[in-house]
Structure 1
Amino acid sequence: MTYDAIIVGGSYAGLSAALPLARARRKILVIDEGIRRNRFAKASYGFLGQDGRPPEAIARDAREQLLRYPTVEWLEGRAEQAKREEKHFAIRTGDGRRLSARRLVLAIGIADDLPGIPGLAERWGRSVFHCPYCHGYELDQGHIGVIAVSEASMHHALMLPDWGRTTFLLNGAFTPDSGQEAELHERGVTIEAASIARIGGDADVVLTDGRTIRFDGLFTLPKSRPASPIASQLGCEFDETGLYPFIRTGMTKETSVPGVFACGDAARAAGSVPLAVGDGNMAGAATHQSLLFRRD
């Protein structure tokens, strides 16, 4: 059987993309390996109507609602390979299944490679974060540390004083020039040049010189990458940013490969549940219209 569309990834973007197709009574399959990017966070903030709910509860409710539609199928597993075959796309899963669809929606997400600081990974999503809009408010204007990974960390350091007293921990990764130092000073940011030995307590930074600085929360930029090679296998073009390469799409979320749409973190240089949901809705509706009005 050939599906009208296969959605690769069943987190927020993928669920949102599937819904318009389900409501159009199209035969669709969602393939999901169950690894949400925000699985470490206790609550998701900034999503209208869902503010402060556990991420897994939002995803669970959305999946239950989606699966009420009779034309939707769900497959737990990983899509390993994808290619174009004449008028359809072929998908092979990790357990050897071979599946076919007229359209593909890639909601593959991204994977985060964290700075190799002892104690950081254990606190990721709990007291160490990457998004001020998602987690800054809950720090209640306390003491915030920004752990530098490159010059791109300047953006974090200049933003976060809106959420609390901010210290920029250079950790040997970056040295601001005189102009950047002036910008930081203007924003009231303290610069700490000593290297970090480890993170302890809730968000306590132990420096190599023996000092400990206690913070209410820490922010840093992970090195991120697409969580699946499928977009590359299909020949999708990527845009490069200072954060990570993301799949290039047009206004309707169609990629450079006709018939392949992409949404969510893998198709936008911003990690946000509401943006993922909005992108997914656009991708799903555009996928349906391409099935109606095009013959590719």
Structure 2
Amino acid sequence: MENLDFGKKLIEVRKLKGLTQADVAEKCNITIRTIQRIESGAVKPRSSTIKIISKNLEFDFFESSNQLSPLKNRRLLWYIKDVFNFKTNTMKKISILTASLLLFAFSFINLFSSKAQSVNPENEQKTKNLSIDRLIFRDSFLIIMKDDKYGLYNPKSKVIIPCEYNKLEIKGNYAITFKDNKRGLIDKYLNTIIPCEYDKFQIEGHLIFTFKNNKQGLLNLDGKVIIPCEFDRFQVTENNFVFTSKNNKHGLMNLDGETIIPCEYHKFQVENNFVFVSKYNKNGLMNLDGETIIPCEYDSIKINGSIAIVTKNGKTENIQI
């Protein structure tokens, strides 16, 4: 199989099993850098490596990709089919279906009741113990107001976010908070994902790009800091690398927050599996593991197959790479 196809299948199987790259590396006793390079298609794994990964992930990568479909649906389809098979454990399955229907009915009634309470004038009386002026039901959030400030309330868990925000914006399952010209993020369970301390942020997929004092950083949707807010700019690539820039110098990180190449090069370019770096008008060559292949001391570098053609002080030589 092609190394890029294998990398894509590895990503899909890993995510279906709820594993991180670090988890796979630990299970297979392979470095995380190797896993990252396999998933990005940067290297072609050996058959022995594929067998090790197949064994530890309990998935045969040598078979057709159709194997992924049973992996996704096997448990759910079997469970549904078995529940409706009344030839075995008849009374138990009838009890399960009955309980499911009762749970659905209870949830519907509770949702209807919550919405009704949010628009009911009597709600003002019921919430006096919260010391608030107004309730607003919006999507999956119950917004509370006091003295023109906004907060949040969850009547089931009795969790209260105090009325201390100048503004709230509901975006799907998240509430964006505004306070003293700073922004934060709270999820529908009223967990604070981002404290109200950033100038702005934007959510892209499972990542949150943050901005503070003209610097950029990166968090995940759990609020974990991947890259602190200290870079002038950065760019996330499709193969999970991050090009970083600070003080007009460039470097490379990964989405685990690990620095591969520090921000100390004036020019920076990735081609295939190589990183061309430049410092003080001298050129060098590194790999995607951050290892130096050719030190930064040449006037020019060109790659021809496995040979690097370098020039220095008007002289040309070939270096095996």
Q: TM-score, normalised by structure 1?
A: 0.23
Which has the larger strand fraction? 2
More RCO (CA 8 Å, sep 6+)? 1
Larger radius of gyration: 2
